[in-house]
A and B are shown apart, each in its own frame.
Chain A
Amino acid sequence: MDIKVLGPGCKKCKELEKAVHKAVEEIGVDAVVEKVEDMDKITEYNVLMTPGLVVNGKVKVFGRVPKHKDIVRYIQEEM
């Protein structure tokens, strides 16, 4: 599974990255989590704001750090 956390590196972006790692570990899914910090690349995902979460190429949510249960759900939707 391919997971991308979109964000140039502010507090919430870091929070989301940490939360995604936690969810991946909990689910036990084989996933590569990549932090995308390049604004040009982030723009390609058509998110209105960061942080953003992309799972297997699908934008799941942006502009906030979702609750843990929601991050788990976004990942499970793509399993």
Chain B
Amino acid sequence: MAETCSCTCNCDASEILIFPCSGSSNVGQIANQAGVELTKAGVGKMFCLAGIGGHVDSFIESAKGAKRIVAIDGCPVQCAKKTLEHAGLTITDYILVTGEGITKNHDFDLQTDDVKKICDKIKANLGDG
């Protein structure tokens, strides 16, 4: 009988780690929500960017083994990209939310279509679209 997995491991989707900037603007939160949705869809696993920024050894060590590292930045400040690079991690896939025609503001009423747009773009980049 095939073994089924009910745990939280990387057996299925992962080895694709997703790092949203989760910044305090609409685009930061769109990035965050895209990370959540992609994880729920089994595309990859959302990972704690704060753990990387805090130089938590086990977080960095664990991220090093990922086959793909997806960074989602909300705006051109590129906090996710810079945090990952500072920790010596290599980004394989990168997306900038404002680069997809979504304007930065501080309205947290996120548009479902905007989140979907980012998710679709990442899926396409990963060959999962």
Contacting residues, chain A, for B114 (C-beta < 8 A)? none
Within the complex, which residue of B45, B48, B58 is in contact with A60, where a contact is CB–CB below 8 Å? B58
- Total contacting residues, chain A, CB less than 8 A: 21
A8 touches B6 (CB 8 A): yes
The answer to whether the Cβ of A49 comes within 8 Å of any Cβ in the partner chain is yes
Contacting residues, chain A, for B77 (C-beta < 8 A)? none
A10 touches B11 (CB 8 A): yes
Near B by CB (< 8 A), chain A positions 1-41 give 7-13, 39
Kindly supply a per-residue 1/0 record for chain A positions 45-65, scoring 1 wherever the CB is within 8 Å of any chain B CB and 0 otherwise: 001111100000011111110
B58 touches A64 (CB 8 A): no
A12 touches B10 (CB 8 A): yes
Given that A49-B14, A49-B45 are known contacts, is A64 also in contact with B7, CB under 8 Å in the complex? Answer: no
Given that A10-B3, A11-B3, A63-B45 are known contacts, is A50 also in contact with B62, CB under 8 Å in the complex? Answer: no
B interface, CB within 8 angstroms of A:
3, 5-11, 14-15, 17, 45, 47-48, 51, 57-59, 61-62, 65-66
List 5 A-B pairs, minimum CB-CB distance, nearest first: A59-B58, A8-B7, A10-B5, A64-B65, A50-B9
Q: A13-B7, A48-B47, A63-B14 are in contact. List 9 more A-B contacts (CB 8 A).
A: A10-B3, A11-B11, A12-B10, A39-B7, A50-B7, A63-B17, A63-B45, A63-B65, A64-B66
